[in-house]
């Protein structure tokens, strides 16, 4: 057979160039604007990036979790908020539509979302329910030939710009987590109320807010999946969501590491460049080692996902580990840069702020560690 290119290498190369040519020159400006990066979002859509992990026959590119994480990792090296937005559009915002929507919804919502014409959002967290899904209090109640959704969701990424929501609701409080189901709610549905965006420390151009569903009436077909199977549907992609978060963390860690590495080679102090000092060498060596470990863990996990497994424990471990590496890398990079790490003119401060975003998305590390321990049988 004639030789073929390695899709992983090629995708990484294209995305790295996209970051270099399209993202890096505007990253600071986008971050400071605090606005959804519509232009970059549309550019990614025009590259057909949002269908990356869906099958070709359904309008996607026929990729897999590994390719998806490679793209997320590369984008995160340029601007974490853009990477997070793209990651969401590829997976959580469209996945339930992809699996459960009827033909009409597919044409009206799913394919336009892949084309970047519509922004999707995913509503899990509530004011009183974060990692503990059993406490979800947003309800969906059967009403004639449809459903009525009521409740409050918070920390909803992209909500201020979203055109539709995939909302986790309780249909039968008696059933606990077995009563959880996902519903599709278009933005224009009467009763949907989106709060102004939150002021956040990092990922400023990721607009995040609360969404209130005040007795929102939706047709029966907007129940995504079979009733009572909502939790199972979430578990089917949970490992991939966590791997994706780890990929964002890995990308950010690499960006911070690179910034520190470059600066240390150029900056002189006391007559030699600071990379010749052992304390700086120690930081660089530890970060490089951590980043390698995170990378191995991540792509081992995605390989398992692509082999059809559900590596729940591994995905939690890598999400936890890669994020800690990212936080450490951003911290160390700002130290290596000295006062320049404190200056708003250099991107390192943005990495430092953005890293905190990763600590919460995909589960806090306190919850994750508990769950890892539980999976270890402890």
Residues of the shown chain interacting with other proteins in the complex, contacts defined by CB under 8 A:
1-7, 9-11, 13-14, 17-18, 20-21, 24-25, 28, 43, 46-49, 51-52, 56, 60-63, 67, 71, 262, 265-266, 268, 273, 345
Nearer to other proteins, 265 or 374 (CB): 265
List phi, psi (to 5°) of 264: -65, -25
User: Minimal distance in Å, beta carbon 85 to other proteins?
Assistant: 16
User: Minimal distance in Å, beta carbon 254 to other proteins?
Assistant: 15
Beta-bridge mates of residue 153: 211
Q: What DSSP character marks residue 201?
A: S
User: Minimal distance in Å, beta carbon 81 to other proteins?
Assistant: 18
User: Minimal distance in Å, beta carbon 349 to other proteins?
Assistant: 15
- The count of C-alpha atoms lying within 13 angstroms of the C-alpha of 290, restricted to the half-sphere facing its C-beta, is 27
User: Minimal distance in Å, beta carbon 2 to other proteins?
Assistant: 5
In this structure, how many other beta carbons lie within 10 angstroms of the beta carbon of residue 227?
13
Nearer to other proteins, 28 or 221 (CB): 28
Tokens of 28: 């600071």
* 353 Cβ contact list (under 8 Å, min separation 6): 201, 202, 203, 204
Tokens of 114: 């892949």
**What do you get for the CA distance between the two ends of the chain, in Å?**
51
Q: CA torsion angle for 123, 242, 9, 304 (degrees, to 10)?
A: -120
Nearer to other proteins, 339 or 376 (CB): 339
> What is the per-residue burial (b if ≥16 Cβ within 10 Å, else e) of 288-299?
eebbeebbebbb
User: Minimal distance in Å, beta carbon 92 to other proteins?
Assistant: 19
Nearer to other proteins, 14 or 177 (CB): 14
Nearer to other proteins, 200 or 273 (CB): 273
Nearer to other proteins, 37 or 361 (CB): 37
Tokens of 174: 């008696």
3-state secondary structure of 128: coil
From 248, 241, 280, 242, select the one nearest 263 (Cα to Cα): 280
In this structure, how many other beta carbons lie within 10 angstroms of the beta carbon of residue 232?
12
User: Minimal distance in Å, beta carbon 38 to other proteins?
Assistant: 17
How many helices and strands, by DSSP H and E, does the chain display? 13, 10
Decide: 330 and 290 in contact? Cβ < 8 Å. no
3-state secondary structure of 149: strand
Nearer to other proteins, 193 or 258 (CB): 258
User: Minimal distance in Å, beta carbon 299 to other proteins?
Assistant: 17
Nearer to other proteins, 26 or 367 (CB): 26
User: Minimal distance in Å, beta carbon 11 to other proteins?
Assistant: 6
* 238 Cβ contact list (under 8 Å, min separation 6): 310, 312, 315
Nearer to other proteins, 269 or 307 (CB): 269
The strand ranges marked E within 44-138 are: 120-123
């Amino acid at each position: 057979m004639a030789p073929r290119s390695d899709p992983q290498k090629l995708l990484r190369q294209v995305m790295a160039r996209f970051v270099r040519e399209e993202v890096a020159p505007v990253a600071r400006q986008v971050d400071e604007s605090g606005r959804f990066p519509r232009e970059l979002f549309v550019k990614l859509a025009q590259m057909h990036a949002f269908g990356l992990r869906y099958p070709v026959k359904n309008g996607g590119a026929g990729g897999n979790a590994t390719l998806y994480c490679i793209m997320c990792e590369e984008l995160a090296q340029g601007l974490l908020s853009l990477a997070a937005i793209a990651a969401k559009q590829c997976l959580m915002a469209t996945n339930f539509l992809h699996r459960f929507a009827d033909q009409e919804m597919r044409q009206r919502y799913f394919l336009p979302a892949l084309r970047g014409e519509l922004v999707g959002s995913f509503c899990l967290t509530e004011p009183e329910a974060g990692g503990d899904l059993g406490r979800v209090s947003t309800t969906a109640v059967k009403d004639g030939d449809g459903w009525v959704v009521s409740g409050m969701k918070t920390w909803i990424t992209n909500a201020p710009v979203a055109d539709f929501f995939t909302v986790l609701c309780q249909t039968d409080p008696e059933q606990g987590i077995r009563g959880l189901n996902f519903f599709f709610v278009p933005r224009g549905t009467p009763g949907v109320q989106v709060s102004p965006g939150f002021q956040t420390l990092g990922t400023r151009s990721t607009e995040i807010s609360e969404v209130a569903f005040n007795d929102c009436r939706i047709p029966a077909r907007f129940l995504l999946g079979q009733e009572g199977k909502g939790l199972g549907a979430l578990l089917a992609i949970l490992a991939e969501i966590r791997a994706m978060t780890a990929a964002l963390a890995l990308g950010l860690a690499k960006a911070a590491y690179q910034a520190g590495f470059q600066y240390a080679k150029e900056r002189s102090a006391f007559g030699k460049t600071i990379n010749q000092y052992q304390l700086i060498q120690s930081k660089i060596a530890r970060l490089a080692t951590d980043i390698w470990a995170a990378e191995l863990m991540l792509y081992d996990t995605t390989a398992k996902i692509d082999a059809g497994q559900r590596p729940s424990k591994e995905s939690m471990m890598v999400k936890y580990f890669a994020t800690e590496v990212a936080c450490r890398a951003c911290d160390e990079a700002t130290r290596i840069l000295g006062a320049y790490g404190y200056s708003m003119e250099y991107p390192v401060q943005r990495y430092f702020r953005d890293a905190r975003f990763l600590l919460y998305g995909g589960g806090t590390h306190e919850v994750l560690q508990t769950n890892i321990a539980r999976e270890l049988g402890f």
